[in-house]
């Protein structure tokens, strides 16, 4: 019953945990979980390896911490889908937000992609409890829009998959995109226009 003696983290703790997590995000997103080493993270963070293990219980704890922090950011745009808004505009906004995230948070996108690619061994339960309910809820919203004739008769689940896939592609497959586009031009504007046109054409209800 008595409250556990939770120490408030000191300034040093806040700073170093932040440094470690940022370095770990770099290393994990670049090399994957197994490919990342504590030594790499230590060097990147400018903190000795034993000192890192003073702040985190181990390699896996760092990874899980990153994933947990990431999930809320990740679900945010989907949660923002407003049932009261205009269907096409809401979904196009969602596409845009996801595309912006792929540009602004590519490390996070790749971290997540790597975890899913390997069967979500360390995040599986969170998908069930965190993602699935939100996914189901928003699919229902989209279905409502379809039933009301305010949206073309789309398959809500696979529509969301396609939105995720097309937007995250620019982060997760960024190295391939870079090779194929070659030009110094930033692909973001072109990608944005393309995806807006594609989903608008698909989503607009028949007159």
Partner DNA sequence: TCGTAGCTTTACCAAATGGTAAAAATTCGC
Partner DNA sequence: GCGAATTTTTACCATTTGGTAAAGCTACGA
Tell me how far, at minimum, the Cβ of 114 lies from DNA, in Å.
15
Of 59 and 138, CB closest to DNA: 59
Residue 1 beta carbon to DNA: minimum distance, rounded to whole angstroms: 23
Q: How far is the CB of 170 from its own copies (least distance, A)?
A: 8
- Residue with token string 């072109």: 190
Is 38 among the residues that bind DNA (CB under 7 A)?
yes
- Pick what 10 binds: its own copies, DNA, none; C-beta below 5 to 8 Å, kind-dependent: DNA
Q: Which of 73, 111, 99, 105 is nearest to 191 (CA)?
A: 99
Stretch that binds DNA, among 35-43, 87-95, 108-116, 142-150 (CB under 7 A): 35-43
Binding partner selected for residue 16 from DNA, its own copies, none, CB under the kind-specific 5 to 8 Å limit = DNA
HEC sequence for the chain: CCCCCCCCCCHHHHHHHHHHHHHHHHHHHHHHHHHCCHHHHHHHHCCCHHHHHHHCCCHHHHHHHHHHHHHHHHHHHHHCCCCCCCHHHHHHHHHHHHHHHHHHCHHHHHHHHHHHHCCCCCCHHHHHHHHHHHHHHHHHHHHHHHHCCCCCCCCHHHHHHHHHHHHHHHHHCHHHHHHHHCCCCCHHHHHHHHHHHHHHHHHCCCC
Q: Does 8 bind DNA (CB under 7 A)?
A: no
Interacting residues with its own copies (CB under 8 A): 30-35, 110, 113-114, 116-120, 124, 127-128, 131-132, 135, 152, 154-155, 157-159, 161-162, 164-166, 168-170, 172-173, 175-177, 179-182, 187, 190-191, 193-195, 197-198, 201-202
Q: Which of 16, 29, 166, 167 binds DNA (CB under 7 A)?
A: 16
What's the rounded Cα separation, in Å, for the pair 136 and 157? Answer: 8
Nearer to its own copies, 61 or 197 (CB): 197
Please select the residue that binds DNA; options are 30, 53, 127, 177, rule is CB under 7 A. Answer: 53
User: Contact positions toward DNA, by CB under 7 A?
Assistant: 7, 10-13, 16, 36-39, 47-51, 53-54, 58-60
């Amino acid at each position: 019953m008595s409250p556990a003696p939770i120490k408030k983290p000191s300034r040093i703790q806040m700073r170093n945990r932040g440094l470690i997590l940022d370095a770990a995000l770099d290393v994990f997103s670049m090399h994957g979980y197994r490919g990342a080493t504590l030594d790499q993270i230590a060097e990147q963070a400018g903190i000795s390896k034993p000192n890192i293990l003073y702040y985190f219980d181990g390699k896996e704890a760092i990874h899980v911490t990153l994933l947990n922090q990431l999930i809320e950011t990740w679900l945010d745009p989907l949660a923002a889908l407003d049932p009261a808004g205009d269907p096409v505009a809401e979904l196009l906004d969602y596409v845009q937000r996801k595309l912006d995230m792929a540009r602004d948070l590519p490390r996070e996108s790749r971290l997540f992609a790597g975890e899913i690619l390997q069967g979500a061994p360390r995040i599986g339960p969170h998908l069930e409890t965190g993602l699935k309910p939100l996914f189901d809820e928003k699919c229902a919203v989209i279905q409502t829009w379809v039933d009301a004739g305010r949206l073309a008769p789309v398959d809500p689940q696979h529509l969301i998959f396609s939105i995720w896939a097309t937007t995250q592609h620019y982060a997760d497959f960024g190295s391939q995109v870079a090779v194929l586009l070659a030009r110094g031009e930033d692909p973001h504007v072109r990608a944005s226009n393309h995806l807006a046109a594609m989903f608008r054409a698909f989503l607009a209800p028949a007159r």
